[in-house]
Structure 1
């Protein structure tokens, strides 16, 4: 059990309740991950009626996989208002309802339209979680453990993806979908016992409730009055120094921060990460490696989870920029290798049989590289380069932009791969990642160990 101590050695705060609350909030991320991983093993069953499921065209399968990202993009925008109006906790608990409705439609779907609508509704709940859970975690955790608590969300998304891969591989699609649909309910039951964000309670002038929340999170021996007073001073300072959004966005530092934020999101998605997550099984079946596609998917998911855990440990120890550069360079190389494999498969099948190890190795290295850099770091840097003056507006827009890109890329993957082949598709991702490498090297600053004011001065060119 971990505690903080003051200079006299007296125990002041407990850390484990904050960990528990952060992990509980990240239970919503596990639900999001299970929905993101669902298409990998599910969609191949909808190719024809022989599998027992209604057939979908290639375009329809692409839309079923990708429409979740449009739901996510839409919900990123209003969720900030709902959290401000109803609180972080109750907003997150309310998301259980659309999650369950969406899964019910998916489980009992008898047509493309029902499946499509169900996935869209799941996306609305999932995207809202992607904004609300990280904010809740940041507000409940002390700065000493905020980084660790903040990594729970990404870690549980990947764990949810792997869980979906495993359950759909060993169970029927109907049973595995019911299990995935039950995850939000389990989250809701557990999260009911967590406190509201004390920051929200102070903002809404519920000081007595804020004290209770702080004591739940820090321990009964902790006196939260200084922390509450500090929050009040911050709120008062923001109210006294309010400037218009247009004034803020005209600043050189703001323009550069927005270019960096949106640029990181562009190259995160243009690396093809969601194509890999949604279509892993299909990619391995087309590769004809001789290894069962579902088994390869589970191996890939396990590697991704372990790499994400390693990335969580690295992100506060290594510089942001160096992790981004290593990440995108390795991803570029592996994408080129995947393109080479599928080119050989199309033109010299006999030789490709000797290279059956290459797709699994390349995708494993790709996900390891993504997990230590371009997966978590762009989201982390948004909180470092966006100031409080415009973060409430810029972050949801950036998040919606990211999910919108994910939809474009995943929904057009089948069409592009049909036109230029899988080799050409992976080479396109590689070419875009080369541009991302140049962007990262020349435009992205190193923010590790720097204060918000230092970062803003750096963005101003001072």
Structure 2
């Protein structure tokens, strides 16, 4: 059955997004299998030559997030030079040796290597994939497509918990590497973003890319008014890039940098990765005492996936500010109340309160807080600023996560488990206040409208480089 002309492009975009999201699925699987595999490595029946220690376990998680921080920091330069598609292809290739290291590992060093490769791929993916999706999609479906990133990550974590608990160790990496190879075989057939070719001034490749993503196959379809209109807009912006330069005040640049930093770092400080990394201890200590750590982790993984799936439905129709405020505020309040439960050592019949608060925290962290960290910057920042500030923000957030996980026992001995939940709650409340009082509403608004709301002015154009002049700086539009 042949799709209508106006639906061909939408179908192509969704297929490309699904293939790209395999990267997030693989990252989630690696996160999901790690608790079960670490228990195996620390058992006398370990497949390694030596039984792993708790320090080895913390390094396994630590190297994953530390390498993600490094990758997120450097990928902005690679993306600007070679394009987001190339970075995503490299991320897919890095995931393959990460699973080979798991399959053939006989020493804990090999497990470290697998996490380093996986972290490098994940750090680049979380920065570049939202940008790639925003640039290939149309405004009508961009929001729903970007929010699928976290849906696939949480699906991967759910699958990872199932594989780690119920599939034989030797076969887990085989399944995961097959998924990585599927991405590596399919994604090269996608085109590069048309915005990348526009920034490079390559008109023939720009038109070819735009035709591919809009489903324009026949020569007769190239005269479709909507396609010609969009192509003319690209060419006009390319000309503006060459001849127009608009100075942008530095206060505006600092404002968008601060918004992006608080949004991404605050969402990461909600502590989801810390809770799941040390699930064996956190879920068995004062929180889910009625369930085994494995059952508790499965419940949390399912709640995460359900929340991100709901976000995919809500994002196109719900106000960004309101969704972010509600999710962050409830998530923060639940975390602080959970800290109180831990301090007061709630037991017996009231234990369900602590369990419910943790589920509430996990649900609302994934309902809007995490997914919107990818969506809002894509609607608020031009591409060059978006790559730069999101890479810096994600790098810092991964670094903080690395510190909280790597030195979990040290910090928990000082501030206790309740101290961790207080930190998570304070970070979420901070994001909620940002959303309520300062963050502009981005749904249904063009980039120029959002920039005007933030005090940047009108008539933005581009300069090939950011060159400070008289206290101002040139801003690249795309």
Using the size of structure 2 for normalisation, the TM-score is: 0.84
Spell out, residue by residue over 1:117-169, the C-alpha distance to the aligned partner (whole angstroms, 9 max, x if none). Answer: 32112111121222332222222222222222222222111111111111111
In 1: Cα distance, 2:309 partner to 2:160 partner? 18
1:15 aligns with 2:7: no
Q: 1:33 deviation in Å?
A: 1.6
> Offset at 1:397?
1.8
Task: Name the CA distance, whole Å, in 1 between partners of 2:299 and 2:7.
Answer: 44
Over 3 Å counting, the alpha-carbon distance change for 1:29 and 1:115 in structure 2 is same
Q: Please provide the CA RMSD for this pair.
A: 2.9
Q: Which ranges in structure 2 are unaligned for 5 or more consecutive residues?
A: 458-478
* Aligned match of 2:242: 239
1:73 aligns with 2:76: no
Q: Alpha carbons of 1:252 and 1:302: their partners in 2 closer, same or farther (altered >3 Å)? A: same
Q: Give the Cα–Cα distance (whole angstroms) in 1 for the partners of residues 92 and 159 of structure 2.
A: 19
Distance 2:456 2:331 in 1: 30
Partner of 2:469: none
Q: Are 2:64 and 2:115, in contact at CA under 8 Å, matched by a contact in 1?
A: yes
Query: Is the Cα–Cα contact under 8 Å of residues 132 and 193 in structure 2 kept in the other structure?
Result: yes
CA distance in 2, matches of 1:74, 1:390: 19
Aligned length: 448
The one-character-per-residue Cα deviations of 1:47-95 (angstroms, maximum 9, x if unpaired) are 4435565433333322211321221221223334434444443442233
Alpha-carbon distance, 1:310 to partner: 0.7
2:171: which partner in 1?
175
Aligned ranges 1:346-357 → 2 under 5 Å: 352-357=347-352
Moved more, 372-381 or 422-431: 422-431
After superposition, the Cα gap between the structure-2 partners of 1:360 and 1:51, relative to the gap in structure 1 and judged at 3 Å, is: farther
Q: What CA distance in whole angstroms lies between the structure 1 residues aligned with 2:349 and 2:42?
A: 29
Please identify, of 27-36 and 77-86, the stretch whose mean Cα deviation from structure 2 is larger: 77-86
User: Closer, same or farther in 2 for the Cα pair 1:426/1:90, shift >3 Å?
Assistant: closer
Residue in structure 2 matched with residue 315 of structure 1 by the alignment: 315
Aligned to 2:404: 409
**Displacement of 1:210:** 4.4
Which residue of 102, 110, 131 corresponds with 1:106? 102
CA–CA distance in structure 2, aligned partners of residues 327 and 56 of structure 1? 38
Q: How far apart, in 2, do the equivalents of 1:36 and 1:404 lie?
A: 16
Partner of 2:449: 454
2:291 matched to 1:295?
no
Q: Distance in 2 between matches of 1:193 and 1:387?
A: 27
CA positional deviation for 1:369: 0.6
Residue 473 of structure 2 corresponds to none
1:337 positional shift: 3.7
Give how far 1:13 is off: 5.3
C-alpha displacement of 1:20: 0.8
Query: How many Å apart are 1:296 and its aligned residue?
Result: 2.0
More moved, 233-242 vs 255-264: 233-242
Distance in structure 2 (CA, Å) of the matches to 1:443 and 1:409: 28
SS in structure 2 opposite 1:335? helix
Counterpart selection for 2:132 from 118, 131, 136:
136
Query: Matched residues in 2 for 1:274 and 1:125: separation?
Result: 17
8 A contact 1:284–1:359 mirrored in 2 = no
Q: Secondary structure at the match of 1:375?
A: helix
The answer as to 2:260 corresponding to 1:251 is no
**Aligned pair 1:429/2:428, yes or no?**
no
| Partners of 1:59 and 1:134 in 2: CA distance | 34
Which residue does the alignment assign to 1:333? 333
SS of residue in 2 equivalent to 1:192? helix
Residue range with higher mean Cα deviation, 409-418 or 217-226: 217-226
2:68·2:119 contact (CA, 8 Å) conserved in 1? yes
C-alpha change, 1:400 and 1:2, in structure 2 (3 Å) is farther
Shift of 1:187: 1.1
Is 1:304 aligned to 2:300, yes or no?
no
Deviations 1:258-309 (A, max 9, x none): 1111111232122212212323344223346232321221221111111101
In the superposition, relative to structure 1, how do residues 37 and 127 fare at CA in structure 2: closer, same or farther (>3 Å)?
same
Q: 1:8 matched to which residue of 2?
A: none
